[in-house]
Structure 1
Amino acid sequence: MRSTRIVFAVAAAAGAMLITAPSAGAATPSSSASPDTGTLSPAAEQQMRGEIAASKPVIATYKGKKIDLSQGWQGAQVCAEGLDGQVSCFGSQAEADAALVNENAAVARRENAAGKALGQGTPAQAPTGTRASSDCSFGWVCVWEHSDYSGRRLQWSEKGTKNLSTWGFRDQASSGCVNRYQNGAALVDFRDFMPDPIMLMGAGSCYDFTRIGYNYGGGSWNDKADAVEVY
């Protein structure tokens, strides 16, 4: 099917990121509206690939020890990058909930301040209709190993380009949530000799990547992401 191609801007960590997107929408996930998909512009692609090349191993704290996530999670199930840029991992959702009480509160305060500036009258609630509504706390961007918002989970509170190879999660993300008032996120798949596909995740939405059409050769965005850009 022929589709009209449009160009639009997205606020990225280091300026406006342009992507070219087909007007035809992808399959609609049960938990959100259909996301925008397309390809990175040449300038944005060059910028992001440079950031990926310069990225360093992600060293996390797990069970009182430092681990390199690119070499394996060593049994951890949840890894979170806090407001201070430090990464902590936990063996279960319950363990993460207990340890992140203060961090979750700080992230929520910042997000509610942003919401107040936008004229939001009450604190936002997590996206509904998925188990992620209780797992991805307010203010965070989260991706999961499985399409039903289960399995290992990564979450970020700070913007930037996240090289999933250094996080031990390349080609392993199957669902995601952006539990925020504003500033979404994007998945990027690096391809040789063709433009890099991108899928935008809007604020306040959850996505089952197995139900979102992929740019090349059919299929879906399941297990395709090489990087996550948090805006």
Structure 2
Amino acid sequence: MRRTRFLVPVVAALCALAAAAPNATAAPQPSAVPEVGLATPAEEAQLQQQLAESQPVIATYKGEKINLADGWQGAQACSEVPSGEVYCYDSAEEADQAMAALAPATARSSASGATSAKADGQFGPTAWSDCVYGWVCLWEHSDYTGRRLQWTAKGTKQLGDWDFRDKASAGCVKRDQGGVSVYDARTGLPDPYMVLTNGGCYKFSTASYPTGGTFNDKADYITM
């Protein structure tokens, strides 16, 4: 009887662990903490040179050409494909479906061990996991909702050209190599930055700003 009394709680504990296993392996909510700091004068000089060379961003939306600096004209998701062309869509789901054809090299691969957003049940216009493998994504709101802007090609992106300056509240980096640096441009003062590492998702509303507060709605340009 003593052995029976001992086995009952052990079996119950094992059953509880088994029941909890699916939750333990489910995709975790994003909670990465970025590195933050202040750019050096040399870094700022190099970045300003790159920004001076930026061109207007002309996107295709509903068959028409629009200058994103003038607004998105109702679009909710814009993507820059590896060729440098930019396309905008009415929803994140529509953008993801189009990108599967326009930028197949960025599609998730089973060899990478990554699962698709749709497969893990997170797919939809408000899901942070919509930022699939191969992309760097920014969202307008800190809960990964609102307008979504994404890139694949490296470079310096002046967010004012994309109608996203001081409007980014969350971001994800889903690439094989390299992270992303996000800067707040300040006249006559060092530019604060945060580094988003590969594989992480970040809420800018909880990312500490070097001089106090958070990085929410402070991003002016990024390097990737």
TM-score by shorter chain over 0.5: yes
> What is the rounded CA distance, in whole Å, between the counterparts of 1:42 and 1:74 in structure 2?
37
Cα RMSD of the aligned pairs, angstroms, is 2.1
Aligned to 2:218: 224
1:131 pairs, out of 100, 124, 127, with 127
Give 1 or 2 for the bigger CA radius of gyration: 2
Would you say the 8 A contact 1:51–1:161 is kept in 2? yes
Aligned pair 1:186/2:181, yes or no?
A: yes
Aligned to 1:32: 31
**Deviation string for 1:32-87 (max 9, x for gaps)?**
33211101111110011111122111000000000000001000100000011100
> What is the rounded CA distance, in whole Å, between the counterparts of 2:199 and 2:102 in structure 1?
20
Aligned to 2:49: 50
Please state which structure has a larger fraction of its residues in strand.
1
Partner secondary structure for residue 145 of structure 2: coil
Give the deviation of 1:104 after TM superposition.
Answer: 4.6
* TM-score normalised to structure 2 length: 0.79
> What is the rounded CA distance, in whole Å, between the counterparts of 1:31 and 1:98 in structure 2?
23
> What is the rounded CA distance, in whole Å, between the counterparts of 1:104 and 1:177 in structure 2?
18
Would you say the 8 A contact 1:126–1:179 is kept in 2? no
> What is the rounded CA distance, in whole Å, between the counterparts of 2:145 and 2:112 in structure 1?
29
Give, as a single letter, the amino acid of the residue that structure 1 aligns with 2:143. Answer: D
Aligned to 1:99: 98
Percent identity over paired residues: 51
> What is the rounded CA distance, in whole Å, between the counterparts of 2:87 and 2:175 in structure 1?
21
Gap regions ≥5 residues in structure 1: 1-29, 113-120
Q: How does 1:206-225 map to 2 (within 5 A)?
A: 206-216=201-211, 218-225=212-219
* TM-score normalised to structure 1 length: 0.76
> What is the rounded CA distance, in whole Å, between the counterparts of 1:40 and 1:172 in structure 2?
21
Would you say the 8 A contact 1:189–1:224 is kept in 2? yes
Give, as a single letter, the amino acid of the residue that structure 2 aligns with 1:131. Answer: A
Please state which structure has a larger fraction of its residues in helix.
2
> What is the rounded CA distance, in whole Å, between the counterparts of 1:146 and 1:54 in structure 2?
29
Gap regions ≥5 residues in structure 2: 1-28
Would you say the 8 A contact 1:162–1:229 is kept in 2? yes
Give, as a single letter, the amino acid of the residue that structure 2 aligns with 1:167. Answer: W
Aligned to 2:86: 87
Would you say the 8 A contact 1:147–1:209 is kept in 2? yes
> What is the rounded CA distance, in whole Å, between the counterparts of 1:223 and 1:204 in structure 2?
22
> What is the rounded CA distance, in whole Å, between the counterparts of 2:176 and 2:149 in structure 1?
20
> What is the rounded CA distance, in whole Å, between the counterparts of 2:116 and 2:49 in structure 1?
34
Aligned pair 1:164/2:159, yes or no?
A: yes
Q: How does 1:105-144 map to 2 (within 5 A)?
A: 105-108=104-107, 122-125=112-115, 131-133=127-129, 135-144=130-139
**Deviation string for 1:104-136 (max 9, x for gaps)?**
531147xx6xxxxxxxx7433479999211x11
Paired residues in the alignment total 190
